Every structure is written in structure tokens, then in C-alpha cells.
Chain A
Amino acid sequence: MSEKRATTGPLPVVPFLKVPDDGEAYLEGCLCTRCDAIFLGQRSVCSKCGARDQMETRRLSNEGTLYTYSIVHRSFPGVAVPYVSAIVDLEGGGTVKGNLIDVDPNPTKLAFGMPVRVTYKDALGRKDCDGNSYLSYFFQPRSQSPRGSR
């Protein structure tokens, strides 16, 4: 990802974060049409069933629920703590790991299964050695959707 480029805009923090020229950022995955396994990003071989070239690209949902988490109090130098490291199941499939923000990092304020939304913002001001800035994804609490969560 550390590619030199013109300063036309931030780079995606991971390859499965897509930023179309004329639209809003989203997370991309692929679905194995033989066994229905969902993966982040693109691949040609399914690591569940071994099928080759049976993948279909999928735009992943921006809504999901908190599967599990840890509240990180000690990290590497320069990383702001505490923060919530969260694993989120997206509606319609796909599981993503990221920071859960806009929430008190306290176990009493976090509930398994709580509804969250994927939101897209600058990568905490981090830049690579070529001075590029990055667009990242985060999770935010959201109120229960009318459809309910999984």
C-alpha cells in the first residue's frame, strides 16, 4: 500500500476499503458461490471448500453487531489508549475487526450484540513515509434498527 502518488486524496487503509471516485466509501468482500463463505477483499480460491474462480464481489453492509471485544489499555508507544478493539459481524455476512469509537471504553457500557455502524474517517492523522494520508473505517454505536439485529 505504501505507494508514491499524487496528493489527490487519502489512500484506503486496507485493500478491502473501497473509495469510488464518485461515491461513498464502503467495505468490499467476496462470496464463494459454491459454499457461501464470505471473505474480506478479493481472492480467487475459497479456503473453506477449495473452489477456484467461483468468487463474486460483494459490497458489505455498513451495519452490524458487536461480536466480541477487548479494551486495550497498553499498546505500543504513540498509540492512544484506552480504546475498544472490536470484532463486528456485518449484516448479511462478513466479520471485520476495528476500533469501536464514540463509546465509553468500559465493560459496563459495552454489550455483546450491540448494534454498530461502519463509519469512514481519516486514519487518526497517520501518514506513511511518502506523506500520504489514509482513510480508515471505524465502528460507532447505533440505535437498534427496526429490522433488529442478528
Chain B
Amino acid sequence: MSDVYVLGIDMMKFGRFPSMTVPELGARAALMALDDAGLTIMQMESMYCANLGQANGMVGQRILREIGQTGIPVVNCANACASGATAFREAWMSIKAGLFDLVLAVGVEQMGRGLLGGGGSNGISTEGLLGSGTMPAVFAEAGMEHSRKYGTSLEQFAKVSVKNHHHSTMNPKAMYQYETPLDTVMNAEMIAYPNTKLMCSVNVDGAAAAVLGSERKARELGLSRAVRVRASALTSDEWQERDLVMPDINTCTRSAAKKSYEMAGVGPRDLDLVELHDCFATAEILHYENLGLCRDGEGGKMIDAGDTVLGGRIPVNVSGGLLSKGHPLGATGIANIYEVSMHLRGEAGKRQVDGARMGLAHVFGLGSACAIHILERVTQ
């Protein structure tokens, strides 16, 4: 079966854009991706659009009303924080199925401020009564499970945030571009132990988009900047003993990693960079192990050794990650693929991973959905 290629991809600088509508944000990213591909909306045969805040609001069609109503099929995707990657994967599947040669995938979100999660019951609110359903606490509990097993410390979790904020100083499209030393991270306001405020991802507005093409179309248009999609995997949460009260962020990432490595015929050692779902600093260390970047129990050691910093053995979240680049839920999955693609094309500027040939983009949506894509530079 022939491969699918990313022919154009781009993202807006993440930030706060209260004067723009969701379709306007999505339209901007869609036009940027089309420009990057040297194509127009008139050539797109289908569109997949990811958004959560207006999941019943036909956001994809409203984007086309901004940039070109060509009557193509539009599918709107909501899959928690994996929505963007799900839209990308649906586009990939439609080309794999032989239905289309050129497909547009867009992810867009406009976020409020403050805590996500919690509440949501009939009768009385159970937040702070039956524990916490806020996202910082849920991911803190997952991190503390790792501490329980392996003795992972607050300091090790905090180092993730130091690293990712450092990376974002080299990314002009990140929400924040400043260093956060270890004591600053550890002494920031405690939100949900062990996650301090600087260990929580930033709520921002943003959009990212990609143009995917069939092998035939890619060859016709020229492969000089194309990126090959070597694997796409999507999983939901398998039954786990505690998962009715404690979402399991590990198992579905592990199964998606296994499937994607098998599909690509590669292993973690073949990767030059990884963008993974650091919605909270605690999550990143868990995902080192879930993605096979190190052995189980060695995630803490990995951050201590500097293995995942730019220049290290396997750089992780050189974009700044969700912690510093920002996390507009529906856009995140495509933004991660954008970051990996930039490195594979050698266009990542100051944060370029030298000689990057293959990279992995991972997102995890609580509830749960995990999507992984493995991307490869096209050798001419």
C-alpha cells in the first residue's frame, strides 16, 4: 500500500486572541498550511476538523465559509486532547483507503482560563468532597503512582518543566519564551502536589493545520519538503482495575506505541526526536517509559541525566511542549506533528535537532484516547 505524506503544515503562534472567533482562528491556520504546501482550498477533496469547545458547532464547515465553500465532505472530530491527532489520522485513513489524494486537517481551540475538569455532577458538586476531578490533581495522582513504584521526586518532575520552558525560548511560536530555573518551578504556587503552577500546561488559543497527500500526488507535486507518515495509531483505554476512579494514562499510550512501532517497522532507538503530551510535568516522565524511550522505572533518571534536552540522547518536546508552547486542546495534536515535521525538513531554526530523520508525535486525551504518529524525512 502506498504511503501518505504531509505536503504542507503550519501553526499560529499560540496566545490569547479573544477578538477572534474559533472559525477565524482555524481559517488562519488552514490558509497557512495551504500556503506551505503551495496549494489552495480549491484542490482539497475532504476536510477533518478538530475542536472541543464548540464540538456541536460545525466548526469545520464554518472554517470553509471563511476560506472557500467547495462542497467537500467535512467531518468534525472531538476526542479530548487527542482531537487534533484524530483529525490528522482520519485524513490519513481517507487517503490510505484510496478515496482522496489531497485532504486538509485542521485543529483549533479557544480556551478559557483556570482549572479544567472537576464538578459535573447532579445534586451537589463533589469537587473537594470526593477528591478532586481537576486535571492538575488527576495527573498529579498518576505521577504519585510513579513515585510510589519508583521513588520519583518532586524535583525530577520539576526538571521537566525547566527543560521545556528552556526549549521554548528558541520557539517564536510558543506562548512563553523564558527560562524557569529549578527553584522557580519548585517554589511556584502549588496547584496539586506535586504539580506547581509552572508544571501545568498553559491554556491558550491556537490553531494548526496540515495538508496530507497520497504518494501519487506527492510525487507529482515534488517531494523536496514532504514528510512521510510511517505510522498512525489510535487507542482507547483498556479495562484496568482502578480505572473507574483513576484514569489510566499509561496503558493506552503503551498499546499505541507498540502498534505504531510495528507499523513503521522501527523502534524507539530509531527516533531522533519526540513531541509527547506533557499536559502536566508529571505526565512527561511516565510517557518516557510508556513510549519505550527508557526502561520502566528509569524515567526519573532520564530527566536527571539530561537525555531529553536538546542535544541529549533523544530530545523531547523541543517546541517547549504543552507546558510552555501552550495547549489549545483541539489544536495540540496537529501542532505536535508540525513541530516534528519542521525538524525533519531542517526548518526548525535555533532549536533544530541536527540531522533529524525520524520523529514521533504523541497525544493523550483523558477519557481516554491516545494517538501516535511516526514521521520520516523523505530522502531524495
Contact = CB atoms under 8 A, between A and B. Distances in A.
A98 B141 contact: no
Interface in A62-95: 67-76, 79-81, 83, 85-87, 89, 95
Contacts of B138: 70
Interface stretch (A51-59, A124-132, A141-149): A124-132
A96 interface: yes
Given A95-B244, A99-B129, A134-B124, A75 B144 contact: no
Contacts of B246: 67-68, 87, 95, 97
B155 interface: no
* Secondary structure call for the A interface: strand
A107 interface: yes
**Most chain A beta-carbon contacts within 10 A, residue among B123, B128, B191, B239:** B123
Interface in B310-351: none
Given A13-B124, A72-B132, A107 B193 contact: yes
B241 A85 contact: no
Nearest to B139: A70
B192 interface: yes
Contact of A76 (B119, B123, B239): B119
A74 B122 contact: no
B141 A136 contact: no
Nearest to B239: A48
Give the size range of A's interface with the partner: 35 or more
B145 interface: yes
22 contacts: A1-B123, A14-B126, A69-B141, A70-B140, A71-B190, A72-B134, A73-B190, A73-B193, A74-B136, A74-B190, A75-B127, A75-B132, A76-B128, A79-B125, A81-B128, A83-B132, A85-B137, A85-B141, A95-B244, A95-B245, A98-B129, A126-B129
Interface of A: 1-2, 11, 13-14, 37, 39-40, 47-48, 67-76, 79-81, 83, 85-87, 89, 95-99, 107, 112, 123-124, 126-128, 132, 134, 136-137
Interface of B: 115, 118-119, 121-132, 134, 136-138, 140-142, 144-145, 147-148, 154, 189-195, 239, 241-242, 244-246
Shortest 7 CB-CB distances between A and B: which pairs? A70-B140, A85-B131, A79-B128, A1-B123, A71-B193, A97-B245, A85-B132
Given A73-B190, A95-B245, 10 more contacts: A1-B122, A13-B124, A13-B129, A67-B145, A68-B142, A69-B144, A70-B138, A89-B242, A95-B241, A126-B129
